[in-house]
Structure 1
């Protein structure tokens, strides 16, 4: 059983917890005037994100979510929203280059680079799709986001990994842009991504479980 994380003393300082949190915000959240919002379909992850940021509660609802590559197809799923009210959003935008109040972001995530595993894990859980390809006996890992700039940031992180993570160039998708990691590299990248996560609690159990089960099928 994973431990629960506690709130760091400074949400903009480099900690494993802040790297994971801001990765999730960049991937599936926003910074608006007076509020940071982050979304997840995993209740445990929502609770941990709220704990990290000192949020009082999470909001749960059932939503119709379009598939990343074809917005004409939707599926119902639970969505949990964590909101942090106060000046943190504007501070995070200035320090980390996150989009603020609908404007484009610069994604200056270098201050969190010492915790690249947790940062990339947050990004994967927020805007990546994992699938088992039965025809190819392979695991697919693709990143999808409305902002191509964020995908460039993800690619820079992949370039610096201690394991090989080749990828293709971003292409247009119905919901923005996407790119995929080479299938042959996904098992090794996935194992590296969640190494040591059990002792920190910085992960969404449902997302980790899906990736690990997919990798087991091709090993």
Structure 2
């Protein structure tokens, strides 16, 4: 049994204000850790002495900090749209950096050894197998998109990442979820990465399941859920 990792004053304050239930071990199987590591895989980087993860929603960034500690920085960035580099978008970014503490190491470990990622950058999510919904939600918020497709009046849900193996893992998680959600094969993006989308007909049911009861745990990005809800409303209005 692993020893409890002492929480910093910042972690305790964030956890109390957000009322987020987190385990003492950030690697233990738990909804909060599944959500955290989904985010890290989707929009983060793990090295021997630090973890950096980027969120576009301030509240979800605070949740990630409550789960694993670290320092948050906010900036506004403009970048190419992943599907089409001729389009740019400006958005807020909240970067959480978790460094190697001299006394406890990185998340209580010696360097990156023992974290759910190997030396080649491949993630191992076996510890979070009972919390696929939270893991998938973290992945979607880290490297996914939700939109309303005005041309067809449907909701679009897709995942975009440079790592094809990670997207294939996301496909496995979706295939195993209790909602039938067929998806496309991986395709290359114009920026050199990969992406796939959930079938439009299945996107409403999949998105609804993904965010169902999320307020009970606080493990979600409010802006992303609002985007999903607006897209669902627009699709319903299109059908009428």
TM-score, normalised via structure 2 length: 0.83
Structure 1 residues 54 and 170: CA distance shift in structure 2, 3 A: same
Q: Mark the runs of 5 or more structure 1 residues left unpaired by the alignment.
A: none
Query: Which residue, out of 143, 155, 163, partners 2:159?
Result: 143
Structure 1 residues 125 and 195: CA distance shift in structure 2, 3 A: same
Aligned to 2:29: 14
Structural mapping, 1:24-63, within 5 Å: 24-55=39-70, 57-63=71-77
Q: Is the 8 A contact 2:18 2:63 kept in 1?
A: no
Q: Is the 8 A contact 2:47 2:112 kept in 1?
A: no
Query: In the alignment, does 2:230 pair up with 1:210?
Result: no
* SS of the residue 2:179 aligns to: coil
TM-score, normalised via structure 1 length: 0.91
Q: Is the 8 A contact 1:31 1:93 kept in 2?
A: no
How far 1:72 sits from its partner (Å)? 3.3
Aligned to 1:157: 173
How far 1:217 sits from its partner (Å)? 2.2
Structure 1 residues 50 and 95: CA distance shift in structure 2, 3 A: closer
Task: Tell me, in whole angstroms, the C-alpha distance in 2 between the residues paired with 1:138 and 1:93.
Answer: 44
How far 1:105 sits from its partner (Å)? 2.5
Structure 1 residues 118 and 136: CA distance shift in structure 2, 3 A: same
Q: Computing the radius of gyration over CA atoms, which structure comes out larger, 1 or 2?
A: 2
Q: CA RMSD for the aligned pairs?
A: 1.8
Task: Tell me, in whole angstroms, the C-alpha distance in 1 between the residues paired with 2:122 and 2:18.
Answer: 33
Q: Is the 8 A contact 1:144 1:178 kept in 2?
A: yes
Structure 1 residues 38 and 133: CA distance shift in structure 2, 3 A: same
Task: Tell me, in whole angstroms, the C-alpha distance in 2 between the residues paired with 1:90 and 1:64.
Answer: 36
Task: Tell me, in whole angstroms, the C-alpha distance in 2 between the residues paired with 1:15 and 1:4.
Answer: 15
Q: Mark the runs of 5 or more structure 2 residues left unpaired by the alignment.
A: 1-16, 101-105
1:49-97 per-position Cα deviation (integer Å, ceiling 9, x unaligned): 1111122x31001111210112232221110001111223876664423
> After TM superposition, where is structure 1 displaced by more than 4 Å over at least 4 residues in a row?
89-95
How far 1:218 sits from its partner (Å)? 2.1
Structure 1 residues 81 and 71: CA distance shift in structure 2, 3 A: same
